[in-house]
Amino acid sequence: MPKKLYDKEEILDTCLSVFAEHGYDKTSTAMLAEASGISRALIFHHFKSKKDLYISLLDRCFEKGSMVMGFESVSEDEDFFEVKDRISTIKFKYYKENPDLYKVIIEAFYNTPDELKSEIETKYGSLIEERDKVQERLFANVPLRENVDRKEAYKLIKLTLDYFENKYVSELVDNRELNECILENIIKERSSFINMIRFGIQK
């Protein structure tokens, strides 16, 4: 057997595509072993269980995504809308280049398997919450028109961004190799909607 397939990182790379195609519940350790070209015993040498392997995969996806999108480098004095536009654009393009990774992330955080709900909520909940707080603090610096409720305005922005993320997901599922033109149109339309909100609520 190829020696490289014994490497933990190589196993994670191979298993990513299996989880992306079949989902957590329908993926068996036998399927993971077959795809990796190694025995189940060797997989369990690196990972205690399928659950442990999946969480390790999420850890790596989360870490890589954070570095690519620059969450940790956001300055508190940056413009909220510029930060949102920059990160969203990077995110869309990153997931376009890594559709399997995106499918796993979507399942883990938006359609979480029952077996994983408690651990994912405990492990990633506080981290995601902290990122949201950073964005809320940035939004707190945005000067708003009179009678515009800040909490409702922030909620409207989040709902709009969620809409375009869901639109992106459906395009990605329907067309695994998402056309660059489609991606650019989604980004352009999203920016147009956000700008309408921005200039409607901002002084």
Please measure the distance between the N-terminal and C-terminal CA atoms of the chain and give it in whole angstroms. Answer: 65
Report d(CA 79, CA 138) in Å as an integer. 7
User: With contact defined as beta carbons under 8 Å apart, do 60 and 100 qualify?
Assistant: no
pLDDT band at 4 (very low <50, low <70, confident <90, very high): very low
- pLDDT tens figures, 127-153: 778 878 888 888 999 999 999 999 999
Position 18 pLDDT exceeds 90: yes
User: With contact defined as beta carbons under 8 Å apart, do 27 and 19 qualify?
Assistant: yes
pLDDT band at 1 (very low <50, low <70, confident <90, very high): very low
pLDDT band at 3 (very low <50, low <70, confident <90, very high): very low
Tell me what the mean pLDDT of segment 25-51 comes to. Answer: 87
Tell me what the mean pLDDT of segment 169-179 comes to. Answer: 60
Position 25 pLDDT exceeds 90: yes
pLDDT band at 23 (very low <50, low <70, confident <90, very high): very high
Q: Kindly state the tokens that stand for 132.
A: 């949201």
Report d(CA 96, CA 172) in Å as an integer. 8
Report d(CA 30, CA 35) in Å as an integer. 9
Supply φ then ψ for residue 202, to 5 degrees. Answer: -90, 145
Tell me what the mean pLDDT of segment 25-31 comes to. Answer: 92
Total length of the chain: 203
The average confidence (pLDDT) of the chain is 83
All structural domains of the chain: 3-201 (1.10.357.10)
Report d(CA 49, CA 43) in Å as an integer. 8
Tell me what the mean pLDDT of segment 31-53 comes to. Answer: 86
Q: What pTM does this model have?
A: 0.75
The beta strand positions in 5-68, using DSSP E, are none
pLDDT at 175: 57
pLDDT at 2: 43
